[in-house]
Amino acid sequence: MNLIKAVAKRVMAEEFTGLQKETMNTIAGFEYLEERIEELEKEDIGWVKLTDLSELNLSREKIRKISKDAFIYWMKNPLIKSAIRTQTMYVFGQGVTIQAEHELINKEIQEFWDDPKNQAELTTQQALGEKENELQIFSNIFFVFFIESLTGKVRIRTLPFNEIEDIIYNPEDNKDPWYYKRVWKDKKGKDHVWYYPDWRYQEKGGDDKPTEGEIKTEGVYHIAVNRISGMKFGVSEVYAALDWAKAYKEFLENWAVIVKSYARFTWNMTTQGGVKGVQSIKNKIKSIAYDPLGSPKKTYDAAKNPTQYRTPQVGNVAIGTEGTKLEPIKTAGATTSADDGRRLLLMVSSATGIFEHYLSGDPSTGNLATATAMERPMELMFADRQSLWYDILYGILQYAIDRAALSSRSELKGTEITNAWGEKVVVLADDTENEDPEKQDQPISRQIEIKFPDILEKDVVARVGAVVDAITLKGSAMAGTIPDVKKQTAMLLAALGEDNIDETVAALFPEEGAVGMPEPPVEPEPFAKVAETMESLRKGVEAIVKKYDSN
């Protein structure tokens, strides 16, 4: 009986030991698997991890890394630099003009635009170009507004993108941002957590305020591009091009190495005498000093002055015995040429929307058909960005108008009312001094004209010809399609690129009955006269253009 118990006890012990070993092996396997998963998560294999698939947001740290990479590539990579510069030049290269319809409104916006502090941040040609560069690189700009309490004057600055940690939205509406969380260190190394309200946020009361950090009063206007609904931050517009720009750079570097290796040897010498013969020739060649300009001079003994000898980096002589042969690797048709990297370049072009000849600087890849037809997508892309900046500048200027209208020292007056949605809005005072009686009991017009010059320089002859053809239907006399002579003149001035069209038309066609104005002569065929004048003008412009082209 005791023997049976002893055997059973031993069997159970062996089974337990085996089970224990198996369990330990399983645990070790899980630990190894966890380590490998951590390594894969850390490894940059060209994919990024989403923090929450339902929100479609990249982690804040990943966006920082993308922005940092984009900035570095903008600094050093010619393709990324060229793509960003090309778009910036087309959007703001010819500047922008701003003019308000009403005198008081125009006074306020011109003072805002001419403020030296605002010029340093936004309102000069250089500042606008810098902001466009930042928008392409970081895809996020955070304008912050500082308001002078007495005059309502607005000064604008931007918050560093890397310091914006989070955006707090209305929990019931992800299109309604409330606060921007800024985490930063001062010069003494002290940590700060500040919350800036959105520039259009109006306090609801209750639990909408953050419970930590310091709440600021300055409003923030967040501009974000290259994102979709549900994303808090935009992702760098050149992100999709970075890998391909890097691949093209490495391709050209490798190709340059091959070319450099070809230049290492230019002469192949064969000598008799075996190793001794080779050494003898080598010593003779070493006795020649190579002038920087390329002319050899025998000036010293290499054996006595070895430190003065410098082996040429290119154009060396390869010396060998009979039967030794040095030949370059044949590359014709078998290996890669420099032009084979074009596909990598085209991927950068595809990612940025900038055509190949702009990136490479090679005009041979473009032609007239490209310039007039194929570049239409680029033209629309730049026009779309100008429209975005129109909205941005218009919104900022309207904000400055509101703040001035609510101040006590501004000539522009307004009141704050609550609309049907329960939101506070500013209504300007009535335009009592307007010359039009129908507009005297209406608020002062907020209309602001923000004008970007044409993206492409149009053919003046073609524009003038199109206007004349529209008026005459390609006939010598007026067809009556546009009977108003003032309208015809305005169209012609626009075709010629005139800026102040209304003023010019008013000067050409003064009001009838004005004091001191002679009676206009009666023309039996006024339309024919205008048609004749326009036709002469068109021919004159054609002659000028031809003369300019011939020179």
Please tell me which residue, 326 or 172, carries the higher pLDDT value. 172
Give Cα 290 to chain centroid, integer Å: 50
User: Cα 327–331–336 angle (5° rounding)?
Assistant: 145
Mean pLDDT over residues 448-463, rounded? 77
Count of residues for the chain?
551
φ/ψ of 95, rounded to 5, equals: 80, -170
Please tell me which residue, 469 or 190, carries the higher pLDDT value. 190
Residue 551 and residue 536: Cα distance in Å, rounded? 23
Give how many domains the chain has, as a whole number: 2
Residue 40 domain-assigned (yes or no): yes
φ/ψ of 195, rounded to 5, equals: -120, 120
SS3 labels along 489-505: HHHHHHHCCCCCHHHHH
- Are the CB atoms for 464 and 541 separated by under 8 Å? yes
- Domain carrying residue 516: 460-550
Residue whose tokens read 């009955």: 513
249-284 pLDDT, tens digit per residue, is: 999 888 888 777 776 666 666 666 677 766 776 766
Note the pLDDT of residue 291.
47
- Are the CB atoms for 316 and 290 separated by under 8 Å? no
> What tokens does 274 get?
């075996």
Residue 38 domain-assigned (yes or no): yes
125-158 pLDDT, tens digit per residue, is: 999 999 999 999 999 999 999 999 889 999 999 9
Write down the number of H helices and E strands in the chain: 16, 17
Q: What is the mean pLDDT of the chain?
A: 78
Residue 395 domain-assigned (yes or no): no
Residue 412 and residue 401: Cα distance in Å, rounded? 8
Note the pLDDT of residue 319.
59
The DSSP bridge pattern shows strands 220-224 and 140-147 to be antiparallel
Domain end, chosen from 44, 60, 76, is at: 44
Please tell me which residue, 459 or 471, carries the higher pLDDT value. 471
* pLDDT at residue 247 greater than cutoff 90: yes
Q: List all residues 6 or more positions away from 460 whose beta carbon is below 8 Å from its beta carbon.
A: 495, 496, 497, 541, 545
φ/ψ of 300, rounded to 5, equals: -160, 170
Residue 465 domain-assigned (yes or no): yes
Mean pLDDT over residues 514-538, rounded? 56
Residue 473 domain-assigned (yes or no): yes
* pLDDT at residue 369 greater than cutoff 70: no
* pLDDT at residue 105 greater than cutoff 50: yes
Note the pLDDT of residue 493.
72
Note the pLDDT of residue 192.
95
CB atoms within 10 A of CB 418: 10
Residue 85 domain-assigned (yes or no): no
Note the pLDDT of residue 45.
44
Q: 329: phi > 0 → left, psi -120 to 50 → alpha, else beta; which?
A: beta
- Are the CB atoms for 66 and 418 separated by under 8 Å? no
| The one-letter amino acid at 245 | A
Residue 259 and residue 281: Cα distance in Å, rounded? 27
* pLDDT at residue 331 greater than cutoff 80: no
- Are the CB atoms for 221 and 199 separated by under 8 Å? yes
Residue 117 and residue 119: Cα distance in Å, rounded? 5
Residue 448 and residue 507: Cα distance in Å, rounded? 24
Residue 490 domain-assigned (yes or no): yes
Please tell me which residue, 291 or 241, carries the higher pLDDT value. 241
* pLDDT at residue 540 greater than cutoff 80: no
State the pLDDT confidence band at 481, using cuts at 50, 70 and 90. Answer: low
CB atoms within 10 A of CB 292: 6
Residue 437 and residue 431: Cα distance in Å, rounded? 10
* pLDDT at residue 106 greater than cutoff 60: yes
* pLDDT at residue 522 greater than cutoff 50: no
Residue 8 and residue 5: Cα distance in Å, rounded? 5
387-439 pLDDT, tens digit per residue, is: 999 999 999 999 999 999 999 888 999 999 999 999 999 999 999 888 888 88
Residue 351 and residue 348: Cα distance in Å, rounded? 5
444 DSSP 8-state letter: P
216-236 pLDDT, tens digit per residue, is: 999 999 999 999 988 999 999
Residue 541 domain-assigned (yes or no): yes
Mean pLDDT over residues 99-105, rounded? 93
28-71 pLDDT, tens digit per residue, is: 555 555 555 455 445 454 555 554 444 568 889 999 999 999 99
> What tokens does 96 get?
């922008």
Residues 108, 110, 112, 116, CA torsion sign: negative
Please tell me which residue, 8 or 138, carries the higher pLDDT value. 138
* pLDDT at residue 3 greater than cutoff 70: no
Q: Which residues of 357-385 are buried (b: 16+ CB within 10 A; e: fewer)?
A: bbbbeeeeebeeeeeeeebeebeebbbeb
Taking Cα atoms as reference points, which of 175, 115, 97 lies closest to residue 393? 97
* pLDDT at residue 301 greater than cutoff 90: no
| The one-letter amino acid at 17 | T
> What tokens does 205 get?
């009361």
